[in-house]
A and B are shown apart, each in its own frame.
Chain A
Amino acid sequence: MLEIKDLHASVEEKDILKGINLNVSAGEVHAIMGPNGSGKSTLASVIAGKEEFDVDKGSIALEGEDLEDLAPEERAHKGIFLSFQYPVEIPGVSVTNFMKTAINESRKARGMEDMPANEMLKLIREKSEMLEIDRKFLSRSLNEGFSGGEKKRNEIFQMAMLEPKLAILDETDSGLDIDALRIVANGVNKLRSKDNAIVVITHYQRLLEYIVPDYVHVLYDGKIVKSGEKELALELEEKGYDWIKQEAVV
């Protein structure tokens, strides 16, 4: 599904990613952990195609197709979804209208007609029920005045609506209380299937109790320094990131 080879990326000539290798297959959930400033969010932005980052070396491929020349919206059309750590506000644009536009733009890119209104309504109803989202919420301006939990739940709602092949969840647990965390995690678990892949970026092990990963990678100073199965997350929780730092120095 996702194949990253020796990826180097920088912003304003400052190197951030220094040779990332990562393979994620369909049906898998990978967690990327690491201390602050290790490059986790940069990795997410670079995969999504944010243009302020320069890819200096290496490649990213989705289902065998190199993404290098694709604009962010084209990557989205191919099935890449990023759940933002800090979702932006767009005043005056309702969640429903935003989703309608996003879905129809992707359909257009695939040579399809706009989704019929009744189908759209059905989809909205189904996905909002799944994520326990109040219908009133959908008519509010996108993220405007949303609490931290509402913003994150809204991100997962969008993921459910767009049904991506590869979803990257960037610090989806930050700012969530335990109830909100459970709802969001349940939503993500329902969206897991053998055809899609999920990359969970998180600082803490807490989220991984709910979204259980197949693999865990530790990112430190722009490189993946350790990979393992889900037990690695527990080990990290216990020993802290200093343990990794020391290993990395050695």
Chain B
Amino acid sequence: MAYTEEELKKELETKEYEYGFYTDIESDTFPKGLSADIVRAISKKKNEPEWMTEWRLDAFRIWEDMKEPEWANVNYEKPDFQAISYYSAPKKADPNKSLDDVDPELLEMYKKLGISVDEQKRLQNVAVDIVVDSVSVATTFKKTLAEKGIIFMPISEAIQEHPELVKKYMGTVVPKTDNFYAALNSAVFTDGSFCYIPKGVKCPMELSTYFRINEGGTGQFERTLVIADESSYVSYLEGCTAPSRDENQLHAAVVELIALDDAEIKYSTVQNWFPGDKEGKGGVYNFVTKRGLCEKNSKISWTQVETGSAVTWKYPSCILKGDNAVGEFYSIAVTNNFQQADTGTKMVHLGKNTKSTIISKGISAGKSQNSYRGLVQVSSRAENARNFSQCDSLLMGNECGAHTFPYIEAKNKSAQIEHEATTSKIGEDQIFYCNQRGIDTEKAIALIVNGFSKEVLNKLPMEFAVEAQKLLEISLEGSVG
């Protein structure tokens, strides 16, 4: 047989996960299992006020009556929710201490992750909050941000220090009753990031959170809440990694964005959870609910590069509530080996003249399955709503799958909705052409994939784009002999 089909496939299978190290840090981990008592214990551990404890317990009761959803185009063994530990914290972490006090092993871990929690970040103008397992370890640049009135801190601290904001907004975009995993998250979330940009303030730097699961047999349930007050602007970055493990780890996060009148939020994610090994063993189950609410003249852009996780179930969405609101979704989802991804977005047009754009790029290799699922909904009072959707799939080899499930519900006749979809395959001829110009197969694939993903990569903040590009290469290429 010809070169690419066989050789290419082999090469794609052999690239190992680069972030698969485990850091030996003493952890404070709860016994496995979930009950009202565990929920109370989490709340107590965090020294939470009574209202928060009650909120959690309410969510737990809702969750108990819910069933795990089965409509996604993925197959996996359902997690045993009683076999997971719902709280794990590196013992030496103390969010009140400065970076100098952080466990050197933790710092070493960040280095391996390529995160420099130091002056480098100042040069790059990025403030970082790092969440390992369940707690937030260090937030940099608090002071610089505070001068502008920007609040950027672990959500556990925000509950203590800014209860009025948390109370007012948490659960308003993703209610406790929204879905099975959102209810679970509401009951047991242990940390995450909180961000508030005051009226008229343009956040002077990128805000960034890094999540990492370290401890075995634990779940990570972080909660992120970003509020952009009227006429403010913020760009938010999120990065994720986990060590290689044989068992599946559960990650069920909730992210809520609120853009008040004339505000803009850019939310970028580079997700690189452990995808499982090449036999499909292990890997993170990533069941995430992300949604943003857009008030009048506001804008929310979701940009995501998804390369990790064994199973992904994720639909960053926009509720375009106010008139003239704009929602955008730019996504690259890569699946390899036995990975499965069911990802896309929901654009709900409620206000007049609301606009949404969806650009989705799915890349499948190995024996993976990659699905785009998107809903464009136009309500009856949303005059002149417009949507443009483009879903492109790139296939490598003959054993993977790409699927597109677009749903359109328009209840207003003035709506303009466009949908374009393409499917292509990396061809032997393309590879040979590159080879003939002196570009080896590995580099050729990277070039073709980057070209395919360009429209989305261009939406990422500069330094993140470079990182994402590298990640695409790592996820898809083999070590060519």
- A interface list, Cβ under 8 A from B: 48-52, 71-73, 75-77, 81-82, 84, 87-88, 90-93, 97-98, 101-103, 105-106, 109, 141, 158, 162
Q: Give the CA-CA distance A109 to B439 in the complex, in Å.
A: 10
Q: Residue B447 at the A interface, CB < 8 A? A: yes
Selected A-B contacts with CB under 8 Å, 13 pairs: A48-B436, A76-B437, A76-B438, A82-B436, A84-B436, A88-B433, A91-B451, A92-B450, A101-B439, A102-B434, A102-B438, A105-B439, A162-B438
Q: Is the CB of A76 within 8 A of B436?
A: yes
Q: Which residues of B contact A91 (CB under 8 A)?
A: 451-452
Partner of B439, one of A48, A73, A75, A141: A73
Q: Residue B68 at the A interface, CB < 8 A? A: no
Q: Which residues of A contact B453 (CB under 8 A)?
A: 92
Q: Which residues of B contact A93 (CB under 8 A)?
A: 447-448, 450-451
Q: Residue B435 at the A interface, CB < 8 A? A: yes
Query: Given contacts A92-B454, A93-B448, is CB(A87)–CB(B433) below 8 Å?
Result: yes
Looking at B2, B428, B436, B440, the one whose CB has the most chain A CB atoms below 10 A away is B436
Q: Is the CB of B435 within 8 A of A76?
A: yes
Q: Residue B427 at the A interface, CB < 8 A? A: yes
Q: Which residues of B contact A141 (CB under 8 A)?
A: 451
Q: Is the CB of B436 within 8 A of A72?
A: yes
Q: Which residues of B contact A51 (CB under 8 A)?
A: 2-3, 432
Distance in Å from the Cβ of B24 to the closest Cβ of chain A? 39
Q: Give the CA-CA distance A101 to B442 in the complex, in Å.
A: 12
Q: Which residues of B contact A88 (CB under 8 A)?
A: 427, 429-430, 433
Q: Is the CB of B451 within 8 A of A158?
A: no
Distance in Å from the Cβ of A113 to the closest Cβ of chain B? 16
Q: Give the CA-CA distance A90 to B427 in the complex, in Å.
A: 10
Q: Is the CB of A50 within 8 A of B450?
A: no
Distance in Å from the Cβ of A192 to the closest Cβ of chain B? 21
Query: Given contacts A92-B454, A93-B451, is CB(A50)–CB(B439) below 8 Å?
Result: no
Query: Given contacts A93-B448, A101-B443, is CB(A109)–CB(B438) below 8 Å?
Result: yes
Distance in Å from the Cβ of B450 to the closest Cβ of chain A? 7
Distance in Å from the Cβ of B358 to the closest Cβ of chain A? 18
Q: Which residues of B contact A103 (CB under 8 A)?
A: 438
Partner of B443, one of A50, A105, A162: A105
Distance in Å from the Cβ of A111 to the closest Cβ of chain B? 14
Q: Is the CB of A92 within 8 A of B439?
A: no
Q: Is the CB of B439 within 8 A of A90?
A: no
B interface, how many residues as a size bin? Answer: 20 to 34
Q: Which residue of B lies closest to A84 (CB)?
A: B433
Q: Is the CB of A52 within 8 A of B3?
A: yes
Q: Which residue of A lies closest to B449 (CB)?
A: A92
Extra contacts, 13 of them, besides A88-B430, A90-B430, A92-B455 (Cβ < 8 A), are: A51-B3, A52-B2, A52-B428, A71-B435, A71-B440, A72-B432, A73-B439, A84-B436, A90-B451, A92-B450, A101-B439, A105-B443, A158-B437
Q: Is the CB of A98 within 8 A of B437?
A: yes
Q: Which residue of A lies closest to B424 (CB)?
A: A91
Q: Give the CA-CA distance A75 to B435 in the complex, in Å.
A: 9
Partner of A73, one of B428, B440, B448, B455: B440
Distance in Å from the Cβ of A243 to the closest Cβ of chain B? 34
Query: Which residues of B1-19 are within 8 A (CB) of A?
Result: 2-3
Q: Is the CB of A92 within 8 A of B452?
A: yes
Looking at B427, B433, B435, B438, the one whose CB has the most chain A CB atoms below 10 A away is B438
Q: Which residue of A lies closest to B457 (CB)?
A: A92
Q: Give the CA-CA distance A25 to B451 in the complex, in Å.
A: 39
Q: Which residues of B contact A90 (CB under 8 A)?
A: 430, 433-434, 447-448, 451
Q: Is the CB of B439 within 8 A of A102?
A: yes
Q: Give the CA-CA distance A52 to B1 in the complex, in Å.
A: 7
Distance in Å from the Cβ of B425 to the closest Cβ of chain A? 12
Q: Which residue of B lies closest to A78 (CB)?
A: B438
Q: Which residues of A contact B3 (CB under 8 A)?
A: 51-52
Looking at B432, B448, B450, B452, the one whose CB has the most chain A CB atoms below 10 A away is B432
Q: Give the CA-CA distance A2 to B441 in the complex, in Å.
A: 26
Q: Give the CA-CA distance A92 to B450 in the complex, in Å.
A: 8
Q: Which residues of B contact A84 (CB under 8 A)?
A: 433, 436
Distance in Å from the Cβ of B204 to the closest Cβ of chain A? 30
Query: Which residues of B92-122 are within 8 A (CB) of A?
Result: none
Q: Which residue of B lies closest to A108 (CB)?
A: B438
Distance in Å from the Cβ of B377 to the closest Cβ of chain A? 30
Q: Which residues of A contact B428 (CB under 8 A)?
A: 52
Distance in Å from the Cβ of A35 to the closest Cβ of chain B? 24
Q: Is the CB of A73 within 8 A of B429?
A: no
Distance in Å from the Cβ of B435 to the closest Cβ of chain A? 4
Q: Give the CA-CA distance A97 to B440 in the complex, in Å.
A: 15
Q: Is the CB of B451 within 8 A of A73?
A: no
Q: Give the CA-CA distance A30 to B173 in the complex, in Å.
A: 72
Distance in Å from the Cβ of A149 to the closest Cβ of chain B? 19
Q: Which residues of B contact A98 (CB under 8 A)?
A: 437, 447
Q: Give the CA-CA distance A146 to B434 in the complex, in Å.
A: 18
Q: Per-position contact with A for B412-437: 1 when CB-CB < 8 Å, else 0?
A: 00000000000000011110111111
Q: Is the CB of A72 within 8 A of B435?
A: yes
Q: Which residues of A contact B436 (CB under 8 A)?
A: 48-49, 72-73, 75-76, 81-82, 84
Query: Given contacts A51-B2, A52-B3, A101-B443, is CB(A77)–CB(B438) below 8 Å?
Result: yes
Distance in Å from the Cβ of A204 to the closest Cβ of chain B? 24
Partner of A105, one of B433, B440, B451, B455: B440
Q: Give the CA-CA distance A165 to B438 in the complex, in Å.
A: 14
Q: Give the CA-CA distance A52 to B430 in the complex, in Å.
A: 14
Q: Which 5 A-B pairs have the closest CB atoms?
A: A92-B451, A93-B451, A72-B435, A76-B438, A102-B437
Q: Give the CA-CA distance A52 to B431 in the complex, in Å.
A: 13
Distance in Å from the Cβ of A126 to the closest Cβ of chain B? 19
